[in-house]
Chains A and B, each alone.
Chain A
Amino acid sequence: MYTFSNRLKIFSIILMVIGTVGVGISFMTSHKSFKQVEQLLAEEAHHGGGHGEEAEHAAPSHGEQATNNSHGETAHAEAGEHHVDKHKEHVEHVMHQIANRPWSALYVAAFFFMMIALGVLAFYAIQIASQAGWSPVLFRVMEGITAYLLPGALIVLGIAVASGTIGHYNLFIWMDPEVVEHDKLIKGKSGFLNLPWFVIRGLIFIAGWSIYRHFSRKFSIAQDTADDNRNFKKSFRIAAGFLVFFIYTESMMSWDWIMSVDPHWFSTLFGWYVFASMFVSGITVIALITIYLKSKGQLEFVNENHLHDVAKYMFAFSIFWTYLWFSQFMLIWYSNIPEEVTYFVSRFNDYKLPFLGMVVLNFVFPILMLMNADYKRIPWFVVMTGLVILFGHYIDIFNMIMPATVGDRWFIGIPEISSILLFAGLFIFVVFTALTKAPLLVKRYPFRKESEEFHY
């Protein structure tokens, strides 16, 4: 049995406390008054120049004329009332973006850690359904990680709903009846995108995943003390069933929880793309936690061959993610249809570094680091690459949410970092608590022996 070391427990609690404080601060400082934002914009226009004008470009209703001289308060009295409206609109737009930032930062971090648990759950089900002979020694690690799924997913859904009820529609503008009223496109989608139906769908997804997680764990532990293979057969059947359920719900979850932040935009392979991101992050976390537990002497039956296999999955799914990322980007870039391409235009103009940087982090780096078979067997090498991959996929989720909510007012500062710390602490706490609940090696699992002696 594994015992949650006190140092790690305290570390995770410290992370949560620091994170909570940071999130609190960022929520308190994000409510700027109209005057403050006006002043801020005037200062920006004065100092940098460029930033204020770029923001102006981003707001679609502003014409060229207004852009060039909107901030020189005195220069154009002749523009009159019309100009005042534009100016007010712009300031309100920016005010809203600033208010959105802590919400989005919290949401991105919550989703990131939730998707790790969900990716691991899918990986776990695949291992059981495919009767893999190498991975059973890692099952308990995977089961530990998936313990975060239920709280994590409820938090994500909770933040999404809270942003539309407590908050001022800070994540999903389709939750704002005012917006829906004046937006034909969103109105047309309101049969799918409406708050009650969104919540019901979300709860169905979470219930389905959690029920599978609950029973697979139950059968796995029951198999330890059983004297036949009934539990193994049951876990095999529910894994196959879950995978069918998962691929539908994962896809719909990605429309609901991510794609609908841009309710004017749609993409067919988006569900797969999000899946690739969650799968590779999940596998990376399996590798990291396995290496950590092994370094503590808890997994003496795991050897470098298992590590090699996990690292191969990290390598292959990094490429798979890139394939989907590029397929989505290139098809839209190539045909350049205005209603689709705005998605990438806004990312390319305002998010150049994270947008292109994540391709380096998620593709170039892992492909060069993990191509060599020998490197995949070296723990510190896999850890370093894994951390880069995880950071890259955080940026990936960041790139999906932020441009729709905060636009060009993004930065990785206190709101973002403290949200990551908060959920990282919670994740570590939940996962390592779950790891103490059962022995770290499955007993009587039919493929256990093969897995223990696995070598490549």
Chain B
Amino acid sequence: MEASKVIHAIYTDDDVLMSAVKKVKAERHHIEEIYTPFPVHGLDKAMGLAPTRIAITAFMYGLVGLTVAIVMMNFIMIEDWPQNIGGKPSFSYLENMPAFVPIMFELTVFFAAHLMVITFYLRSRMWPFKNAENPDPRTTDDHFLMEIAVHGNENELQSLLADTGAVEINIIDKEDAH
């Protein structure tokens, strides 16, 4: 891929960052990415990011877990070997269902929780031994960094960002961005 240029504007305060984001959005520049040391409330809204759908996946994973529990216990306890264990009615699933509910509940939670976490890791590309994608180590401590793509409007962007209170503005040549 050809080399592209990005601008890195660094802030030291999340309130300043928020107003900067609103200003940059108002000027219709595309914000590539923002790096922050901690969650900044309302940042996703200000950037116009689409809401997450991870809760919906969790709900569906929960249904999968519930189904697994029901099918498993129906097969084992009712169909495969319906023994009389302490007088519990193993004639049909419904008749013996109260005894299965704790497992149905736990498997629902188990599937919903674990598969949702794994989905989160996959979608946000996180795994052990992954190379950190951190443009500036200070952003994990006390600095905020906004990355904006440059399309030949360098000077204009630079002055805009300086107006928003950026403490440092760098132009970076990015090899093979993304």
Question: Which residues of A pack against B, CB within 8 Å?
Answer: 326, 329-330, 333-334, 336, 371, 373
Tell me the nearest residue of chain B to A371, going by C-beta: B59
Total A-B pairs, Cβ < 8 A: 12
A329 contacts which chain B residues (CB < 8 A)? 98
B87 is an interface residue with CB less than 8 A from chain A: yes
Question: Nearest 8 CB-CB pairs, A to B?
Answer: A330-B98, A333-B98, A334-B99, A326-B101, A330-B101, A334-B98, A329-B98, A371-B59
Nearest Cβ on chain B to A70's Cβ, whole angstroms? 30
Docked-complex contact A336 and B87, CB < 8 angstroms: yes
Q: Mark B58-87, 1 if CB is under 8 A from A, else 0.
A: 010000000000000000000000000001
Nearest Cβ on chain A to B70's Cβ, whole angstroms? 15
With A326-B98, A329-B98 known, 10 other A-B pairs at CB within 8 A are A326-B101, A330-B98, A330-B99, A330-B101, A333-B98, A334-B98, A334-B99, A336-B87, A371-B59, A373-B55
Bound form: Cα–Cα A334–B100 in Å: 11
Tell me the nearest residue of chain A to B59, going by C-beta: A371
A333 contacts which chain B residues (CB < 8 A)? 98
A330 contacts which chain B residues (CB < 8 A)? 98-99, 101
B99 contacts which chain A residues (CB < 8 A)? 330, 334
Bound form: Cα–Cα A370–B87 in Å: 39
A334 contacts which chain B residues (CB < 8 A)? 98-99
Bound form: Cα–Cα A327–B98 in Å: 10
B98 contacts which chain A residues (CB < 8 A)? 326, 329-330, 333-334
B55 contacts which chain A residues (CB < 8 A)? 373
Interface size on B, residues (CB 8 A): 6
Bound form: Cα–Cα A330–B98 in Å: 6
Nearest Cβ on chain B to A283's Cβ, whole angstroms? 23
Nearest Cβ on chain B to A368's Cβ, whole angstroms? 10
Pairs across A and B, CB under 8 Å, 12 listed: A326-B98, A326-B101, A329-B98, A330-B98, A330-B99, A330-B101, A333-B98, A334-B98, A334-B99, A336-B87, A371-B59, A373-B55
Bound form: Cα–Cα A329–B101 in Å: 12
Bound form: Cα–Cα A101–B98 in Å: 32
Q: Mark B90-104, 1 if CB is under 8 A from A, else 0.
A: 000000001101000
Tell me the nearest residue of chain A to B98, going by C-beta: A330
Bound form: Cα–Cα A334–B59 in Å: 30
Bound form: Cα–Cα A333–B99 in Å: 9
Nearest Cβ on chain A to B50's Cβ, whole angstroms? 14
Nearest Cβ on chain B to A318's Cβ, whole angstroms? 15
Nearest Cβ on chain A to B105's Cβ, whole angstroms? 9
Bound form: Cα–Cα A245–B96 in Å: 40
Nearest Cβ on chain B to A78's Cβ, whole angstroms? 38
A326 contacts which chain B residues (CB < 8 A)? 98, 101
B101 contacts which chain A residues (CB < 8 A)? 326, 330
Nearest Cβ on chain B to A367's Cβ, whole angstroms? 11
Tell me the nearest residue of chain A to B99, going by C-beta: A334
Tell me the nearest residue of chain A to B88, going by C-beta: A334
Tell me the nearest residue of chain B to A326, going by C-beta: B101
Bound form: Cα–Cα A333–B101 in Å: 13
Bound form: Cα–Cα A330–B105 in Å: 14
Among B126-146, those with CB < 8 Å from A are none
A371 contacts which chain B residues (CB < 8 A)? 59
Among B20-74, those with CB < 8 Å from A are 55, 59
Nearest Cβ on chain A to B52's Cβ, whole angstroms? 11
Bound form: Cα–Cα A333–B59 in Å: 30
Tell me the nearest residue of chain B to A373, going by C-beta: B55
Tell me the nearest residue of chain A to B87, going by C-beta: A336
A373 contacts which chain B residues (CB < 8 A)? 55
Bound form: Cα–Cα A334–B96 in Å: 9
Tell me the nearest residue of chain B to A330, going by C-beta: B98
A336 contacts which chain B residues (CB < 8 A)? 87
Highest count of chain A CB atoms <10 Å: which of B55, B59, B98, B99: B98
B87 contacts which chain A residues (CB < 8 A)? 336
Tell me the nearest residue of chain B to A372, going by C-beta: B55
Nearest Cβ on chain B to A338's Cβ, whole angstroms? 13
Bound form: Cα–Cα A326–B104 in Å: 13
Tell me the nearest residue of chain B to A336, going by C-beta: B87
B59 contacts which chain A residues (CB < 8 A)? 371
Nearest Cβ on chain A to B54's Cβ, whole angstroms? 12
Nearest Cβ on chain B to A31's Cβ, whole angstroms? 41
Bound form: Cα–Cα A329–B98 in Å: 9
Bound form: Cα–Cα A170–B60 in Å: 50
Nearest Cβ on chain B to A344's Cβ, whole angstroms? 10
Tell me the nearest residue of chain A to B56, going by C-beta: A372
Bound form: Cα–Cα A330–B103 in Å: 13
Bound form: Cα–Cα A94–B130 in Å: 76
Bound form: Cα–Cα A371–B56 in Å: 10
Nearest Cβ on chain A to B32's Cβ, whole angstroms? 29
